Structure 1
Amino acid sequence: MGNNIAMEQIKYAGPGGMDVTEMGTGPRVVFVHGGGVGGALAWKEQWPMAADWRLVMVSRPGYGDSPARGGEDFERDADLVAELLQPGDHVVCHSYGAAVGMLAVAQDVDKVASMTIIESGTTAIAKDDPSVTMFHFALLGLMTNPPEDDELFLRWMFRIIQPSQPLPPVLPPPLAQFARHLRHFRSPSECIVPEKILHDAAFKKLHVSGDHNPAYEGITNRLAEHLGGERLIIRGAGHMPHMTGAPFNAALDAFLRN
């Protein structure tokens, strides 16, 4: 990657009023965030890649300056992201955003040059894996009988998602905002991955996990098996391998250029 980082950010309203931030020059890489932190902030460690790529970082509805459109819903968000995509785009998506990204890309696979899927929460694709089954029902039980306190709800959820790395004692504002709308949340476990469409698509695929939770390893392995593509583990940042910065960026840059 180049040494000069283009840090100027351009913000505009995208499909459905979604807040979109762009920075850098070169081929477009569209980033779709997961739950908790949205928009450009979710991909801050990837900003150095703006020296060689045009980073397109969307805030899904209810995040950042994007207007809320009811509860969090991967199908609704997928329609908006699909509208944002342009021919030749690379798509990078994480966690809840992986469900969004896969459904969006499946609407027109000929538009996309590549897709990188990071720690998807789509448990339905690997429910026969015992670790995924345990993870699935732990989250389902919490969502069915959540505590009354929003912050406690979020902390219990993260204990399931990322047991080795608890949340900080004081929640950052984006996570506090996420905790408040967590009760209106359509679980990614309901997402049916369009396996055949994505498997048959000609674009490149990369599947990334952080080797911190057997359930995410099971989901990621199954996605790699059923969709095809490269498989990568980047340790050190739990559920957010992209937060390792340079190790993830180097791997992603090499994949995009290949």
Structure 2
Amino acid sequence: MAFGSGERVVFVHGTDSFGAAAWPHQHRLAGRFDCLFLRRHGFDLQAEPLPTDFDEDARIVGGHLGAGAHVVAHAQGAVAAMMAAVEHPDKVHSLTLFEPACLSLTADLPATRAYRQRLEPLFAARGELTDEEYQREFVRLVVGAEALPLATAADRAQAKRARLQAPPWNAPLHIVPGLPTLVVTGGWEPLYEEVAHYLAGTGAIHRHAGGDHRPQDSDGGHALLEAFLARKALPD
């Protein structure tokens, strides 16, 4: 889905909502930019969910860059964004990554290693679990809470999609030297702070905003994105 005119901005969602629905606060950019809100491989309201395909996700992003674009991504969408930047360094003008799940970059660092140790048995067993069983265990392991019942068809599709997601630490990621990159985290989870710290060490700008795992939904997170796209100095 595309809106607006001006410089192109390609938005790449995470694993919950997708398309334009994943970026409710960013619609306001459409008056100044040519905004494209993508759907990654296997994310469709009508079709059955499909397993993660990192390469296909990167092809989807690459196929929407046009003559060149800024790419904005959330969580696992950051994997596709970074892979597309490697494939099309002349077409990706900048990256903005909200809570990037680029765990293959930090696989041997403490927070990521602990996360992997917690989740790897569940990923290994997911073929033997129902979608509801997988969701219940995933929520317990990640946030220490009880998963909500799968009350609607959309809930059931989302649970199936979640079970089919590949471990993000297996993604083939590389850094694009010199590419202007902003990383925005919510400051709530050491895992994402570790990824952000790693990326900052390669030249990215790292800033905190509210909104926990969705800092793009906070006023501060959206303001950072607007300033970065406008090439303005960012507040500390």
Match of 1:208 in 2: 184
Shift of 1:105: 1.4
SS in 1 for 2:187: coil
Q: Does 1:241 align with 2:191?
A: no
Shift of 1:55: 1.4
Alignment of 1:23-62 (within 5 A): 23-62=3-42
Alignment of 1:1-258 (within 5 A): 21-65=1-45, 70-146=50-126, 148-161=129-142, 163=143, 174-195=154-175, 198-199=176-177, 201=178, 203-226=179-202, 228-235=203-210, 237-244=211-218, 246-258=219-231
Match of 2:234 in 1: none
Q: Distance in 2 between matches of 1:100 and 1:93?
A: 8
Q: 1:71-111 CA distances to partner (integer Å, 9 max, x unpaired)?
A: 11112211222122123311001111111110011101111
Q: Distance in 2 between matches of 1:73 and 1:159?
A: 26
Give the conservation status (yes or no) of the 8 Å contact 1:211–1:233: yes
SS in 2 for 1:84: coil
With the length of structure 2 as denominator, give the TM-score of the two structures: 0.86
Give the conservation status (yes or no) of the 8 Å contact 1:59–1:66: no
Q: 1:224-254 CA distances to partner (integer Å, 9 max, x unpaired)?
A: 212x12111112x22211122x222211010
Shift of 1:127: 2.6
Q: Distance in 1 between matches of 2:165 and 2:99?
A: 18
Code of the aligned partner of 1:252: L
Match of 1:5 in 2: none
Shift of 1:131: 1.4
What runs of 5+ residues in structure 1 fail to find an aligned partner? 1-20
C-alpha spacing 1:229/1:223, structure 2 compared with 1 (3 Å): closer
C-alpha spacing 1:166/1:105, structure 2 compared with 1 (3 Å): farther
CA RMSD of aligned residues (A): 2.4
Shift of 1:164: 7.7
SS in 1 for 2:30: helix
Match of 1:7 in 2: none
SS in 2 for 1:120: coil
Shift of 1:54: 2.0
Once structures 1 and 2 are overlaid, which stretch shifts more, 36-45 or 63-72? Answer: 63-72
C-alpha spacing 1:217/1:173, structure 2 compared with 1 (3 Å): farther
Code of the aligned partner of 1:84: H
Q: Distance in 2 between matches of 1:193 and 1:56?
A: 23
Q: Distance in 2 between matches of 1:166 and 1:230?
A: 35
What runs of 5+ residues in structure 2 fail to find an aligned partner? 232-236
Q: Distance in 2 between matches of 1:249 and 1:83?
A: 25
Give the conservation status (yes or no) of the 8 Å contact 1:30–1:91: yes
The count of residues paired between Structure 1 and Structure 2 equals 230
SS in 2 for 1:181: helix
Code of the aligned partner of 2:222: N
Shift of 1:174: 4.5
